[in-house]
Amino acid sequence: MTVATTHIGKATPRVDGRAKVTGAARYAADVNVPDLVYGCAVSSAIARGRIKRIDARDALAVDGVLEVFTHENRPRVAASASKYSDETAPEGSPFRPLHDDKILYSGQPVALVVAQEFEIARYAASLVRVEYERADHVTDLREVRDEAYAPKRKPAGPRGNADKAFAKAAVKFEGEYSSPIEHHNPMEMQASTAIWESDGKITVYDKTQGAQNSRNYIVNVFGLDEEDVRVLAPYVGGAFGNGLRPQYQVFLAVMAALALERSVRVVLTRQQMFTFGYRPGTIQTLALGADDEGLLEAIKHEAVAMTSRYEDYRENVVDWSGLLYKCANSKLGYKLAQLDLASPMPMRAPGGALGLYALECAIDELAHKAGVDPLEFRLRNYSDRDQNEDTTYGSKALRECYRQAAERFGWTGRKPQPRAMRDGKELVGWGMATGIWEAMHEEAGARAVLTADGKLEIASATADIGPGTYTMMTQVAADRLGLPMQDVTAVLGDSSLPTAPVEGGSFTAATVGTAVHAACELVRKKLLKLAKRMDSSPLAGAELEDVTFGEGKISRRDDPAQSVSIIEVMRDSGTNRIEEEATASRSKAAEKLSHYAHSAIFAEVKVDEELGVIRVTRVVNAVAAGRIINPTIARSQILGGVVWGIGMALHEETLTDHALGRLVNHNIAEYHVPVNADIHDIDVIFVEEEDGVVNPLGVKGVGEIGVVGTAAAIANAIWHATGKRVRDLPITLDKLLA
C-alpha cells in the first residue's frame, strides 16, 4: 500500500497563514452577533476564607448593567463535583465557579457583571463590594514541604538497591534544585462567546485546546442535551496547556447566556490570566553515584511539587531519571504539597521540563567530579533500552543527535575548567544537556469527503493551538491521495466533527494524522474500485499495492503511463462524493515498544564578570523525532521551545506575596519573558530517524522536545563560564553576584 510521497517532508507554508496575517482568522472573542452583551468577572481579594456579604447595588445602578451573578443568585447548575470534571482533570474535586461562599485561592471568581458594553461591565465590576471572613492560608511550598504526601499514581518502581550503591560509589554528587511557579501567558486571553439560539440551543466559541472537551463540560454542568450544544474553536492564539481544561470564563458565559437568554461574551483580563492553572513550583533532590570510570551506579531522584487543596495535580517529574541512562540501581520519589492556590495545570512539556532540568544539571555536576567531559559522560552511560520498562525502543537516534550537535557547535574546542574561556570583559561558558519526550498516540477519528471536482475536505474535532495542525492534516491527506494541496481543505475545532482528544502532549500529528491517513485510505480503496469498473480501464485487475496516487491521478506502479485522473473516475461512475470516516489508535505492535523523541542541546553563554548580566549567544539543538512532516513548521516549534527554555532558565517566575497569598507580578510588564534582544543564534538540526512501528506516518511530534533540556544546558553553560552553580531557577544576576 505504499504511496509515492509528494507532500510529506516538504517545507510547505502554513495553509492558515494568510487568514492569520490578514485578520480573517476569527478567535473566540472576535465573533459578533446581534444583541451581544458582555460579562466581566470579579476576582477574590483573599486567599482563603468565605464571603460574608456581596453588595452589588452600585454596580446594578450603572446604566447598561443587566445583572450581577453571584453564588447567591446564579441559575441552578450541577452540584456534584464529578459533573465539572473533564478529560484532562486530575484526581480530586474540580473547581466549581460561583458554587458557594468558600474562597479557595486569591483571584477566584466571586461574581460576574453583565452589561451592554464591555467597558461598562468592567467599570461596574469595580463597584461590587465583597466582605470576607479571612482564614489562615499557606502559599509557600517550603513551608509545607514536610507535609507533602505521595499521590495514588506512583513513579516508576525502584530497581536494584540505590541507597546501598550510592553509599559505595567512588564518585558522588548530592544536590537540591528548585523551580518557581510559571504562567503560560499566550497572546490570546481566555475568552468565550456563548451564542443563544432562538430554539434554545447554544453555540459557544471558546478558547480551548479541545472543543469536544468543552462541549462535554457544558453538557454535564448545565444539564443540556449534547445535540443542543456546539463548541467551536477554529483558531487558538496560543495555549501551551492552559486551554486543556475548560476554564471558568466558559462557565460564566454559558451560565449568563442561559439565564438571560442572550448571547454573552466573557473575556478574562491579562491579570485574570493568572487566576487559574500554572506550572507548579518544585523542590527536587538528586543523589548520583558513579565508579572511577564515570559509569553510573546509583540514581536517586525525589521531587516535592505544589498542588491545590481541592485536586491532586501530578506531573511526571522524576521518571526521566530512571529512564534515560544505563544504571542498575534507581530510586524515584514524588510528593505533593497542598497550598491555598488554584490547581496547577500542564505547561509545555509538563514534568519533563522540570525533571530534566534537575537531572541534566546533576549529571553535569557528577561528570565534573568524575573528571569526565559532560558529553563523554553521557555517551558512557548511554542506554539502548528503556531503563524503567526494560523494553526496546522503536527507534532512538540520540547518539547521532549528540554527534551532529557537538560537531555543529564546535564542542571539541571547549576548555574543561570553568572561567577558562573569555571574550573581552565577558566570561564564556559552554554547556549541554539531553532532551527526551514521549511519542504518545491517542485514539482519534477523521472524515474525508472527496467531491466530483477532485476537491477533498478532511475533518476532525482536534484543535490548532499554533503547531500547524491545519497544514499537517492538509499535507497528510494531499500526500495520501496524490492531490495538490490547494485542492485539500482541513476543517477542525468543531465539537460536531469526528472525535479527537484535546491537542497537547505532542501527540496530535501522530494521533490525528494517523486518523486522516486511515480515512484517506478508505477513499483510495473506493476510488480504485470505481476506476477498475471503467470501460477499458487501464487499472483493470490492479490492487492497491499495484498503483500510485499522484498529480491527481491513479497510475500503475509498473507503467505510470497507464493512468486515470481522479476527476475522470468520479464523473464516469456518476459519483458526486465519496465520504469515509475512520478511527485510529496505536497498534498492538507499537504498544510492545517504547517510543520517545530525543534531543541534544548545546548552549553558549556570555556573562559580564562585573555586572552578572547573562546572554545566551548560541544554541544548537539536534532533534530526532521520527519523520518530519513539514521542516519549516517543525523548526518553528523547536525555536519556540528553545526560547521558552531560555525564559525558564533566566526570566520566568511568578512571585507570590505569602503574607497576602496573592501573586504580585500578574502582568506582562513584570512577569518577565524573553524578548527579541534576549534571543540570538538558534540552530535546529533534524536528525534522520526512521520508525516504522510508532504509527503509519512514522512521526513522533515536536511540540515539547524543543524545551526539555534547554534550561539545563544554559545552567550548565553558566556554571562553566563563572564557576558558580545556581540551582534555583530562574538564574538572575543577583544570584550570580551573591
Q: How far apart are CA 476 and CA 468, in angstroms?
A: 12
By DSSP bridging, strand 456-459 and strand 488-491 are parallel
Q: How far apart are CA 166 and CA 186, in angstroms?
A: 43
Who contacts 240 (Cβ-Cβ below 8 Å, separation ≥6)? Answer: 184, 186, 347, 348, 465
Active site residue 365: no
Q: Contact at 8 Å (CB) between 682 and 619? A: yes
Ramachandran angles phi, psi of 477, nearest 5°: -65, -45
- DSSP for 390-456 reads TEEBS---HHHHHHHHHHHHTGGG--SSTT--EETTEEEEEEEEEEEEE-----EEEEEEEETTS-E
Helix (H) or strand (E) holding 226: none
Considering only CA atoms, give the Rg of the chain.
27
Q: How far apart are CA 163 and CA 289, in angstroms?
A: 10
Cis peptide before 416 (omega within 30 of 0): no
Report the residue count for the chain: 738
Q: How far apart are CA 693 and CA 43, in angstroms?
A: 50
Q: How far apart are CA 733 and CA 480, in angstroms?
A: 53
Q: Contact at 8 Å (CB) between 660 and 140? A: no
Q: Contact at 8 Å (CB) between 55 and 469? A: no
Q: Is 541 exposed, middle or buried (0-12, 13-18, 19+ CB in 10 A)?
A: exposed
Who contacts 463 (Cβ-Cβ below 8 Å, separation ≥6)? Answer: 208, 209, 210, 211, 233, 236, 243, 469, 492, 493, 502, 503
- DSSP for 516-550 reads HHHHHHHHHHHHHHHHHTSTT-TTTT--GGGEEEE
Q: How far apart are CA 64 and CA 74, in angstroms?
A: 20
Taking the CB of residue 691, how many other CB atoms lie within 10 A of it? 24
At residue 242, the 3 state secondary structure works out as coil
Q: CA-CA distances (angstroms) from residue 646 to 379, 673, 708?
A: 25, 9, 11
Q: How far apart are CA 251 and CA 117, in angstroms?
A: 20
How many angstroms from the chain centroid is the CA of residue 646?
Answer: 17
Q: How far apart are CA 366 and CA 174, in angstroms?
A: 9
At residue 261, the 3 state secondary structure works out as coil
Listed residue (543, 530, 629, 526) closest to 581, CA to CA: 526
Q: How far apart are the first and last CA of the chain?
A: 64
At residue 338, the 3 state secondary structure works out as strand
Going by the DSSP 8-state scheme, the letter that residue 292 receives in this structure is T
**What's the half-sphere exposure (Cβ side, CA atoms, 13 Å) at 526?**
18
Residue corresponding to grid cell 442561559: 258
The dihedral of CA 523, 524, 527, 528: what is its sign?
negative
Q: Contact at 8 Å (CB) between 350 and 242? A: no
- By annotation, the residues acting in catalysis are 704
